[in-house]
């Protein structure tokens, strides 16, 4: 099952695990895959803390870092502003009714207030906030690759990563986006079907994967969206994928730092319990459907703002529902990012167990497929 791309990255199995949890990143890399730390909700100080811990525990194994540099966002043209200046300008653009609507939803469902005063910091969704995080990641010898979650990275960022000797890639949900990634000189593409968690397009994986693989060959393509077992891994590899990019698989593992109430929400979810919504970031993202998503998707309520403005509107809700996951009816207004494959995940496993299960199921599925062939 080891592919050429595995050799380029320095891993044993072509299983890439996106996670916001440092423990998961370490456990997956130690088990032969590649853990990829999602830094989209971190500032540089938080990322430095997480990478220090990863470097101290990963035993020299490679890992990756996923950042969010949108192609288009409010404030993009303000490149001369400092991070603080941009943040102040963006906060001034947010209508009071949006902030009031978010606070009302939290109060109605018994989510405790944040103990500290002051507004949440802007997330890493602007160049000013992302570049310090990227530079921090590039100081880490074991960080083997950088991935951008939203669009083709700027040309100077691509060159900066390549000059450091690392690989750089990006996610996409359409053929034209993949071609743009290829033409910009990226080292790999992650083709994510609409089934996937987080920011996704509208095309299903079974149609998207071969379409993108055909469009950018021989550039390595990692298949994402709807992968929860070895049979699905085999399907992706049979289409020509160089590996699989997984996310929802790691939300309920033993190593995940999610609180019990949030893990239980994931374990109880079915394949039809997710929704693609702008309710959290301002861009379509797949999450568990709940009262929060229903409220923001209602035509009679405030329209979600563009990125990153809506992220500032919901930032307080994100931190409060994560911290107080089991309080009141918090799960009814929590940001539980996951893909449709969450319906296949019904028990808690270790990261190592998940890796071995995927490999075993892959081989069993391959054997079953071979046995289907009839010889005269």
Q: What is the pLDDT of residues 260-303, one digit of tens each?
A: 999 999 999 999 999 999 999 999 999 999 999 999 999 999 99
pTM metric for this prediction = 0.95
pLDDT score, position 374: 72
64-73, 138-147, 180-189: range with lowest mean pLDDT: 64-73
Q: Are 317 and 331 in contact (CB under 8 A)?
A: no
Whole-angstrom distance, CA of residue 333 vs CA of residue 291: 6
Q: Are 303 and 248 in contact (CB under 8 A)?
A: no
Whole-angstrom distance, CA of residue 343 vs CA of residue 273: 8
What does the radius of gyration of the chain's CA atoms come to, in whole angstroms?
A: 20
Whole-angstrom distance, CA of residue 316 vs CA of residue 109: 15
Is the alpha carbon torsion for 106, 110, 111, 113 positive or negative?
Answer: positive
User: Which of the four pLDDT bands, split at 50, 70 and 90, describes residue 81?
Assistant: confident
What are 199's two structure tokens? 């920011």
Is the pLDDT confidence value at 138 over 70?
A: yes
Is the pLDDT confidence value at 84 over 90?
A: no
Is the pLDDT confidence value at 157 over 70?
A: yes
pLDDT score, position 150: 87
User: Which of the four pLDDT bands, split at 50, 70 and 90, describes residue 78?
Assistant: confident
Mean pLDDT along residues 138-143: 98
Q: What are the tens digits of pLDDT across the range 335-347?
A: 999 999 999 999 9
Is the pLDDT confidence value at 245 over 70?
A: yes
Distances (CA, A) of 192 to 26, 174, 211, 250: 23, 9, 12, 17
Q: What are the tens digits of pLDDT across the range 215-228?
A: 999 999 999 999 99
Q: Report the SS3 class of residue 233.
A: helix
Is the pLDDT confidence value at 127 over 70?
A: yes
Output the average pLDDT for the chain. 95
For residue 17, give every residue at least 6 positions away whose Cβ sits within 8 Å of its Cβ, in sequence order, or none: 24, 25, 28, 33, 34, 35, 36, 246, 247, 249, 250, 351
The fold of the 4-371 domain, in CATH, is TIM Barrel (3.20.20)
Is the pLDDT confidence value at 350 over 70?
A: yes
Can you list the alpha helix ranges (DSSP code H) found in the chain? 4-9, 22-30, 44-57, 83-91, 96-108, 127-137, 155-163, 175-183, 205-216, 230-238, 260-268, 291-297, 309-323, 351-372
What are 25's two structure tokens? 């990143």
Is the pLDDT confidence value at 376 over 70?
A: no
pLDDT score, position 132: 92
For residue 23, give every residue at least 6 positions away whose Cβ sits within 8 Å of its Cβ, in sequence order, or none: 255, 256, 257
Q: What are the tens digits of pLDDT across the range 303-312?
A: 999 988 999 9
| Residue among 39, 38, 34, 52 nearest 139 (CA) | 52
Share of the chain above pLDDT 90, in %: 86
pLDDT score, position 69: 81
pLDDT score, position 83: 81
Is the pLDDT confidence value at 198 over 70?
A: yes
For residue 28, give the DSSP letter.
Answer: H
pLDDT score, position 74: 78
Share of the chain above pLDDT 70, in %: 99
């Amino acid at each position: 099952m080891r592919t050429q791309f595995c050799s380029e990255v320095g891993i044993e199995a072509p299983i890439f695990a996106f996670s916001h949890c440092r423990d998961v990143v370490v456990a997956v890399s130690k088990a032969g895959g590649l853990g990829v730390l999602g830094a989209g909700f971190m500032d540089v100080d938080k990322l430095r803390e997480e990478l220090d811990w990863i470097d101290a525990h990963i035993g020299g194994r490679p890992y990756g870092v996923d950042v969010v540099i949108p192609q288009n966002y409010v404030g993009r043209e303000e490149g001369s502003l400092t991070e603080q200046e941009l943040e102040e300008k963006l906060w001034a653009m947010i209508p009071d009714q949006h902030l009031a609507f978010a606070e009302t939803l939290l109060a109605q469902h018994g989510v405790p207030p944040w103990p500290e005063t002051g507004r949440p910091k802007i997330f890493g969704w602007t160049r000013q906030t992302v570049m310090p995080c990227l530079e921090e990641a590039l100081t880490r010898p074991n960080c083997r690759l950088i991935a951008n979650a939203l669009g083709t990275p700027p040309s100077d960022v691509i060159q900066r990563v390549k000059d450091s000797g690392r690989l750089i890639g990006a996610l996409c949900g359409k053929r034209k986006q993949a071609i743009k990634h290829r033409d910009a000189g990226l080292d790999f593409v992650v083709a994510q079907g609409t089934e996937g968690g987080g920011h996704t397009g509208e095309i299903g994986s079974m149609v998207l994967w071969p379409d993108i693989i055909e469009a950018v060959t021989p550039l390595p393509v990692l298949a994402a969206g709807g992968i929860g077992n070895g049979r699905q891994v085999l399907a992706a590899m049979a289409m020509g994928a160089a590996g699989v990019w997984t996310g929802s698989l790691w939300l309920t593992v033993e190593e995940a730092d999610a609180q019990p109430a949030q893990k239980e929400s994931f374990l109880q979810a079915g394949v039809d319990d997710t929704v693609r919504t702008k309710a959290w970031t301002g861009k379509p993202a797949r999450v568990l459907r709940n009262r929060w998503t229903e409220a923001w998707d209602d035509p009679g309520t405030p329209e979600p703002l563009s990125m990153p403005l809506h992220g500032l509107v919901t930032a307080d809700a994100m931190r409060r529902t994560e911290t107080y996951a089991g309080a009141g009816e918090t799960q009814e207004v929590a940001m539980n990012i996951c893909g449709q494959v969450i319906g296949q995940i019904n028990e808690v496993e270790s990261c190592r167990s998940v890796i071995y299960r995927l490999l075993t199921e892959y081989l069993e599925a391959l054997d079953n497929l071979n046995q289907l062939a009839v010889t005269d």
